[in-house]
Structure 1
Amino acid sequence: MISLGFITMYPNQEKLYATEIATRAFDHGIQLYRFTPTSIEPTTEMVRGEIFNNDTKEWDAAVFEIPSYLYDRCFYSFDGVSKKSQPIMNWLKMRPSCHFLGQGLPNKWDIYEVLIQDKVLAPYIPPTEQAVSPTAILHSLMKAHQIILKPEKGSMGKGIISLSLHRNYAEAVYKDNQQLEAKQFTTRAELKKWIEGILSSQPYLIQKYLPLQDENNCPFDIRILLQKNQLGEWVEQGRGIRRGLPDHIISNLGGGGEILSFDEWSDNMATAEKLLLFDNIHTITTRLPFVLEENFSPLFELGVDVGLSKDGALWLLDSNSKPGRKVILETSPDKHDKLYTAPLHYCLYLHSQQSIRS
């Protein structure tokens, strides 16, 4: 049996997803394991984790060798667990006996620097700067009157801030415990001090504000899931619309947003507008995986987020190498089995390539 390890930061993270894969793994000649980076014993290099029991359909506690193939579903932040886990994952990636389904992507700034140099993708990339200091942020705000601050290592919409300049004050809008918060500043010194506190927590990027709302002033974007198939080729698994709450700054589902069918949503567009949108999406999804893999590491999947502004421009908002599946699962129930078997099919492809090399 081929051994495949499903790695998360915490023991029960994404357990339902791992279980769906595991129930299908045995028929593909694959044994699935679950563990965290910190569950690897440094002296013996054995793992204390869980193995899926195909007879009981349950996870059993077990001690086992590091699996030959690894599916990395670790999401890092700035906490203690991340600081312990990331070096271990980097160590695993250096081991010749470990084959990752996907190596992951670097931070958003490194990705931006590569994509903005590509002639095909550059027109879709929002102009971005590093927030090197509070002064740099204030300068951008004075120039554009409204900007977005995004964490360099952010995911799932966490930490995004909208800064806007009004006649007698500046305003920061952000999420705090799933609630939309607005903070106003009447002096430059007050705003600068607040920004200093923000930058002390993590590095940020500056982007000009893009009007990505629908007619009801709800922010929305298009999530497209790309994965490699059993032949190692990129295929689109599906696409859907994520729509946020009115007057909010992002469409992230964790903040109370909803999922809409892409086909139903796009059916309301004029024919010419729809054809242009489809053509632009095709350009992005065809070119993006190639550019990322050419400049970084091999990947297995990509969550591609694109935004359609009120003037009809399409913007590539994010490229996520560890995407969720909620949008596709809700809008395309017929894709369930395909999504859960995709990691298995690609694992078999990698195994066949290893057999050829050896």
Structure 2
Amino acid sequence: MNKLYTIQTTNSTDHKIHLPITTTIFGRIHTVSFGTLFLPCEITYSDELNQSILLPQELADQLHFPSEGKTNLIFNEGTLHLGPLIGIFTAGFTESTLRPIGERSLFFAKFLSLDQSIGLFTFVFGAHHINWDDGTITGYTYGKNGWQQGTFPFPNAVYDRLPNRRIENHQALKLVKKRLTEEYAIPWYNPGFFNKWAIHKLLIQDSRAAIYLPATFHTPTISQMEEMLATYQSIYLKPANGSLGLGVYQIMYSKEENQYYSRYRDDKEINRLRKYPSLEHFLKAAFKDKLLSSYLAQQGIKLIRLDGKPIDFRVHTNKDEHGAWKVTALAAKVAGKGSVTTHINNGGVVKTLEEIYENPQERVRALHDLTEAAIILSKCIDDNIKGFIGEIGFDFGIDQYGKIWMFEANSKPGRSIFCHPELRDADILSRKASLEYGLFLAKMAIFHPEELIHEEI
């Protein structure tokens, strides 16, 4: 774990920063940096300081540095880097001082409240908070006094938390990313929502990943759907860019009745089961003669069940402070009665593995297999997608033979599983890991900026 230092501001009028004498090993320091702002400074060393540093208030003000807190000390080529400073980019700000990001204020507060545990300084900002002329951002922090607005230099790294695809595709927001990454060489992580079909095409070509993928077709024809039903007994129709289980249909064929059944959630959020004499009748009723150009047909899997209800698994992976993938959270989701998915808003219930598996050996095997699959798939996606991916949420299934199937990968995973009281530690671990990856990228930008440029290409 990185050694953290407590910042203490002084009323000194000079630009002398007092450091512990143990830091003399890093050589002569002539510049101090916070975020992407650099200022000249003088350094003095004291054997009375252990894990604290003294920073003149005047210099702190010029750096837009908070008056207190814990920080990493990063030394490189005569510069002392404080923080680092991580900006969290989003949209949907309000005029409220109590809830500046509306209903998502608590979501962001939970991230910001963890920064000091790893010596980071974090703030949330939107496109309209950027002052391009003087290189500052008027963003929001969260601490013991609640939400506060302050001015910051451009950060060492930006964590993308735009709320949806529509906002993500807004031209003004794309321009913000372009300028900060290209003009200021600031690493930007977790950009872009995944498209299900793009991810499938990417993974099906990788032998490490292909074994976890159900058969999937884009813009399926009726004949393809008929063949899939004959082979797998059921299929799922999913929007390629969907989320939260919206717009999903399960199609089943009864050979005895020569009838088709569709399970879905209607516009009034009621779970429905309908019968049709043919696929043509179903498509006409559900899609009004529109092409399935934005849909995927996915093989139905006979999943393990609890009390007769199908179970799938959400696994969160994150990159840590070393840039390595790790599993930070794992939970089961049991489908609600008559529901087409296990999503919480469809009546699904979150369970721990202990609640699913009474047999310890079965539980250990499931944990091992799900963890292995999640790490392999995280690496495969990361190896084949441009940019810096710091977290992925996977939806997995385990069939009646114990085989693992990957249904979806999400670049900005929801956090509904963390409503379970036994997953509170995992909630903190996964949030903290998202910030730790920002620390990793900030260090890369300081020590090896050429590697970041190569990664972005």
Amino acid at match of 2:217: E
Distance in 2 between residues matched to 1:116 and 1:312, nearest whole Å: 21
Q: CA deviation at 1:219?
A: 2.4
Residues 283-322 of structure 1: pairs in structure 2 closer than 5 A: 283-297=372-386, 298-322=388-412
Amino acid at match of 1:301: E
Amino acid at match of 1:191: F
- Using a 3 Å threshold, how does the CA distance of structure 1 residues 36 and 200 change in structure 2: closer, same or farther? farther
| Count of matched residue pairs | 352
| Unaligned runs of at least 5 residues, structure 2 | 1-33, 35-83, 94-100, 450-457
Tell me which residue corresponds to 1:4. Answer: 86
> Is 1:263 aligned to 2:354, yes or no?
yes
Q: Considering only aligned residues, what root-mean-square deviation do their CA atoms show, in Å? A: 3.3
| Aligned 8 A contact 1:169 1:186 in 2 | yes
Q: CA deviation at 1:183?
A: 3.4
> Is 1:122 aligned to 2:214, yes or no?
no
Q: CA deviation at 1:181?
A: 2.1
TM-score (norm 2): 0.67
- Using a 3 Å threshold, how does the CA distance of structure 1 residues 97 and 173 change in structure 2: closer, same or farther? same
Give the one of 88, 105, 111 matched to 1:15.
Answer: 105
> Is 1:242 aligned to 2:242, yes or no?
no
- Using a 3 Å threshold, how does the CA distance of structure 1 residues 253 and 87 change in structure 2: closer, same or farther? same
Tell me which residue corresponds to 1:323. Answer: 413
| Aligned 8 A contact 1:131 1:137 in 2 | no
State the SS of the aligned residue for 2:330: strand
Query: Which segment drifts farther, 208-217 or 190-199?
Result: 190-199
> Is 1:339 aligned to 2:433, yes or no?
no
Q: CA deviation at 1:29?
A: 4.8
| Aligned 8 A contact 1:219 1:249 in 2 | no
- Using a 3 Å threshold, how does the CA distance of structure 1 residues 188 and 75 change in structure 2: closer, same or farther? same
- Using a 3 Å threshold, how does the CA distance of structure 1 residues 218 and 128 change in structure 2: closer, same or farther? same
Residues 144-223 of structure 1: pairs in structure 2 closer than 5 A: 144-166=232-254, 167-176=257-266, 177-186=268-277, 189-194=280-285, 196-197=287-288, 203-223=294-314
Distance in 1 between residues matched to 2:116 and 2:306, nearest whole Å: 49
Residues 82-161 of structure 1: pairs in structure 2 closer than 5 A: 83-84=169-170, 87-88=174-175, 91=178, 95=182, 96-104=184-192, 106-133=194-221, 136-137=224-225, 140-141=228-229, 144-161=232-249
Q: CA deviation at 1:254?
A: 2.0
Q: CA deviation at 1:229?
A: 1.5
| Aligned 8 A contact 2:156 2:445 in 1 | no
- Using a 3 Å threshold, how does the CA distance of structure 1 residues 293 and 42 change in structure 2: closer, same or farther? same
Q: CA deviation at 1:149?
A: 0.5
Distance in 1 between residues matched to 2:179 and 2:289, nearest whole Å: 33
TM-score (norm 1): 0.83
State the SS of the aligned residue for 1:332: helix
> Is 1:35 aligned to 2:140, yes or no?
no
State the SS of the aligned residue for 2:303: coil
Flag the structure with larger Rg.
2
Distance in 1 between residues matched to 2:238 and 2:225, nearest whole Å: 12
| Aligned 8 A contact 2:315 2:393 in 1 | yes
State the SS of the aligned residue for 2:374: helix
| Aligned 8 A contact 1:227 1:302 in 2 | yes
Amino acid at match of 1:235: K
Distance in 1 between residues matched to 2:107 and 2:216, nearest whole Å: 34
Amino acid at match of 2:404: L
Query: Which segment drifts farther, 327-336 or 249-258?
Result: 327-336
- Using a 3 Å threshold, how does the CA distance of structure 1 residues 195 and 45 change in structure 2: closer, same or farther? farther
Amino acid at match of 2:204: I
Distance in 2 between residues matched to 1:141 and 1:30, nearest whole Å: 52
Amino acid at match of 1:246: K
- Using a 3 Å threshold, how does the CA distance of structure 1 residues 189 and 317 change in structure 2: closer, same or farther? closer
